Structure 1
Amino acid sequence: MKNEATGHPPAVGETAVEEPLNRTPTEEASTSVREYSSGTVGAPLPGAEDTGGSRATGSRRRRRRRRAVLVALAALTAGGAVAAAAIGFSGESGASDGAGSSGLPPNTTRVTRQSLADVHRADGILGYGQSVTAFGRLPGTITAMPETGDRIARGKALYEVDNRPVILLYGSVPAYRALKDGVEGPDVQQLERNLSALGYTGFTVDEEFTDATADAVKEWQEDIGLEETGTVDLGRVVFAPGKVRIDGQEAEVSGQIGQGGKVLSYTGLEKAVTVELEVAEQRLAKEGSTVTVTLPDESVVKGRIEEVSTVIEPATGQEEASTKIELVVALTDRKAQKAADAYALASVNVDFVAQTRKDVLTVPVSALLALAEGGFGVEVVKDGTSSYAAVTTGLFADGRVEISGGGIAEGTTVGMAK
């Protein structure tokens, strides 16, 4: 009588392995990985030759000695288990080799050489990336505010306090002090670069605020309706990387604002995707890494991780505090931006390549056997017989697994589960 799990009689002298009566859901899902005792590695398949003796008695004895069991995916490496479970062990089916009479595996496949990629998919929100809050540094009454969605360029008023504009300029260094004669630093050079871009001359763009710089500032102040002091007070300008889009209002016109009060929030103009990951997935969050973004119309565009930040949500009520990894993915070319322009706000899929293995030997996950002495093997079929060969597993991806070991080469025929 044949073993129900393997499709062939157990070998004489193998140790009995009792199958649990109550399987866990994980064990039920693991029907593609088979277990064999250590004595079978490298040996002919059971049933390949007659061992003699009473067939009926021997069959009953062998059944008592051994029952093949299906091994739970928890036996795989942690990464492999997750990958294999996700793909459901979908493998290639080969022609039947006559398992009913010869003891050969019911299906076969060949070892192939290819590249594997472990791809992780996460949900993302297509918008304009992270929002930045503008804080007021000039106390007074807000007399003018832009509307949500308005776009502001260099030299234009971001909002007004006491009927005097707060001006947007470009730069990466936040305004943190008054800029006046005798001050030096990269923030001075940033101011002078903006004055030059706005058409003011007569000074050298460097890190020194000189009398020539002050003269240019006075001319600029006259043009925008400010008192001509030659000093840029803290709070009179807001530096941003480029043009901004107003994302929301944090204060109201006619409202009073004090030092450090929230006024409005803004984003850049280019579309970007915000992704939230669990802390355990932090390995995916590498600045500069390339990802692919699938838009609602199923078109796929390229993206690049530009910002990575840790967001801590404090405990509220019955909810415990949580920590998330937040990413901003920039759409890196004109084609991607054009495709994204059709959507103001949309849910998208973002695919991260966690790991790749190039030019490796692979088999379907369902070709793996779990060996009783530990580790994994495959059933090598050759010249009408088969034997078990131990293998070392590598990356699990796309329903396949990277393998290596003695006697394993490209084109080798191996058995598969039904």
Structure 2
Amino acid sequence: MAETAVQTDHEPGAAPAPPPRGRRGRRTVLVASALVVVAAVAVVGALGLGGGGSQEGSSAPPRSGSTVPVTRTTLTERTTVDGQLGYGTEIPLPVKATGTVTWLPAEGTTVKRGGTLLRVDDRPVVLLYGTLPMYRELGLTAGTQQGTQQGTRQETGAEGDTQKSGDQGRTDEPSGAPAPSGSPTPGGAGAGAGAGGTGAGAGGSGGTLRGMDVLQFESNLAALGYTGFTVDEEFTGLTARAVRRWQKSLGLPQTGTVGVGDVVYSAGKVRIGHANARLGSPATDDVLTYTGTSRKVVVNASAAEDSWAVRRAAVTIALPDGKSVKGEVASVGKSATAPEEGGGEGDSAAPTVPVTITVKDQKSVGRLESAPVTVEYVGRERADVLTVPVAALVALAEGGHGLETADGRFVAVKTGLFADGRVEVSGSAVREGMNVRIPE
């Protein structure tokens, strides 16, 4: 009867109306629609068509059941650590001059050989190059001074051609450059006396000052252009004459003697750090700090993972501007430093050792003097091994990993090094060139 009632309610020639849908019927339609949408999303995700845009150019193959070949290559494990670009740790200058500080250079100033590091009692403290510290006064001994003074007076007279045998009061230093050792002088007397003066130093009662510190100082004196003596381990009268000319250029009394506080030695030119004293303060052995003039990177490497840090190991330094420069490990600290306290609950930071990395091409760093950088180094490396994308690995029911071949078979493999999105694989059923499937 219900069916007849429905038909009489329609106009003649009209299509039959659909049967009435109750609450249960609508629920069934909604559930079916939801299942279709979920299935569509799953397919889109598997095909890599979701809202991430096109993946064109990506090195990883899409996870759509496509196949990739097993390739033979070299896998390299690369690790990055944080570092700090700068000039290295500042260390105190070994200043031994005593008195009042009367002049200081600006921080960041570069001082070369012969340059003034600071002034104490208005006397310059000069930088020279060397590894042996200044530990004693350099000059003529008592036995050499008398002979040298006599030779100097007579040589002065010979150069001016006015020296008289009775004139023993003139001791002024000649203004011209000294004659080279062994060179002839007018009249012959000056040459003989000069030689006698030097010889008296060698065999005099006080002896001649000798040592490696003398050789180091004379090498610097000659490099600065004050010559006329033999660069060796012996401080002679000719050395003293060159010292007096050097002292005259510095505005110092021309004594021919170099005091312990007059010079400071370093391995090369230095960059002035910060001052620990002000003008008018007493000079101390830590009045100034310095560094080298080449920029370098210091990394606080984990003491448990510092096997990469060996001298001459090559690294890559990523600068803040995105550029990369080559570096080389120069030194590794011998003592590990514990992490600072207060790092937060659960802080498990390991002790670290300082690793210093040099940059040979200083121009590649640009104008940066200090900046945080990232250092990349090579950890492990496996050469000439079979590899596949990591995504090709499948977990086998019996345990371990395997690969799915193009025809649907599964072969067990042993995994090795993971690096750059690939993994080293080996096994009796794996060969170079075989195609394996990327699981869906």
CA distance in 2, matches of 1:208, 1:314: 50
Match of 1:379 among 384, 403, 411: 403
Q: Which residue of 2 aligns with 1:184?
A: 211
2:365 is the alignment partner of 1:343: no
2:389 is the alignment partner of 1:389: no
Q: Which residue of 2 aligns with 1:354?
A: 379
2:321 is the alignment partner of 1:282: no
Q: Which residue of 2 aligns with 1:126?
A: 85
Match of 1:255 among 281, 294, 307: 281
SS at match of 2:373: strand
SS at match of 1:135: coil
Q: Which residue of 1 aligns with 2:186?
A: none
Kept in 1: contact 2:270–2:291 (CA 8 A)? yes
Q: Provide Cα deviations, 1:260-312, integer angstroms capped at 9, x if missing partner.
A: x3111122223222222121232122121221122222111212222322465
Match of 2:227 among 201, 218, 221: 201
Change (3 A) 1:358 1:172: farther
Kept in 2: contact 1:120–1:353 (CA 8 A)? yes
Q: What is the CA-CA distance between 1:206 and the residue it aligns to?
A: 3.7
Kept in 2: contact 1:378–1:414 (CA 8 A)? no
Q: Which residue of 2 aligns with 1:299?
A: 323
Change (3 A) 1:256 1:401: same
Q: Which residue of 2 aligns with 1:42?
A: none
Higher share of residues assigned strand: 1
2:439 is the alignment partner of 1:414: no
SS at match of 1:351: strand
Q: Which residue of 2 aligns with 1:403?
A: 425
Match of 2:261 among 212, 225, 235: 235
Structure 1: runs of 5 or more not aligned: 1-89, 97-106
Match of 1:167 among 108, 121, 126: 126
Change (3 A) 1:206 1:122: farther
Q: What is the CA-CA distance between 1:144 and the residue it aligns to?
A: 1.2
| Partner AA of 2:329 in structure 1 | I
Kept in 2: contact 1:123–1:348 (CA 8 A)? yes
| Partner AA of 1:359 in structure 2 | D
The two structures have a TM-score, normalised by structure 1, of: 0.65
Kept in 2: contact 1:377–1:390 (CA 8 A)? yes
CA distance in 1, matches of 2:334, 2:319: 26
CA distance in 2, matches of 1:209, 1:367: 78
Question: Is 176-185 or 313-322 further displaced after alignment?
Answer: 313-322
SS at match of 2:210: coil
SS at match of 1:414: strand
| Partner AA of 2:211 in structure 1 | E
SS at match of 2:228: coil
CA distance in 2, matches of 1:378, 1:153: 65
Q: What is the CA-CA distance between 1:91 and the residue it aligns to?
A: 5.1
Q: What is the CA-CA distance between 1:355 and the residue it aligns to?
A: 2.9
Map 1:28-43 onto structure 2 (within 5 A): none
The two structures have a TM-score, normalised by structure 2, of: 0.62
Q: What is the CA-CA distance between 1:167 and the residue it aligns to?
A: 0.8
- Identity over the aligned pairs, expressed in percent? 43
CA distance in 1, matches of 2:410, 2:336: 55
SS at match of 2:433: coil
Kept in 1: contact 2:312–2:330 (CA 8 A)? yes
Q: Which residue of 2 aligns with 1:6?
A: none
Map 1:363-374 onto structure 2 (within 5 A): 363-368=388-393
Q: Which residue of 1 aligns with 2:248?
A: 222
CA distance in 2, matches of 1:312, 1:235: 36
Map 1:3-82 onto structure 2 (within 5 A): none
SS at match of 2:211: coil
| Partner AA of 2:372 in structure 1 | S
Q: What is the CA-CA distance between 1:198 and the residue it aligns to?
A: 0.2
Match of 2:354 among 310, 326, 329: 326
Change (3 A) 1:313 1:289: closer
SS at match of 2:219: helix
Kept in 1: contact 2:90–2:289 (CA 8 A)? yes
CA distance in 2, matches of 1:414, 1:178: 80
Q: What is the CA-CA distance between 1:193 and the residue it aligns to?
A: 2.1
Q: Which residue of 2 aligns with 1:149?
A: 108
2:140 is the alignment partner of 1:112: no
Change (3 A) 1:315 1:417: closer
CA distance in 1, matches of 2:302, 2:275: 30
| Partner AA of 1:155 in structure 2 | G
CA distance in 1, matches of 2:281, 2:294: 31
SS at match of 1:195: helix
Report how many aligned residue pairs link the two structures: 310
SS at match of 1:304: strand
Q: What is the CA-CA distance between 1:139 and the residue it aligns to?
A: 2.5
SS at match of 2:239: helix
CA distance in 2, matches of 1:224, 1:134: 21
Change (3 A) 1:370 1:245: same
Kept in 2: contact 1:130–1:328 (CA 8 A)? no
SS at match of 1:349: strand
Kept in 2: contact 1:380–1:389 (CA 8 A)? no
Change (3 A) 1:316 1:331: closer
CA RMSD of aligned residues (A): 3.1
Q: What is the CA-CA distance between 1:255 and the residue it aligns to?
A: 0.8
Change (3 A) 1:325 1:317: closer
Kept in 2: contact 1:93–1:109 (CA 8 A)? no
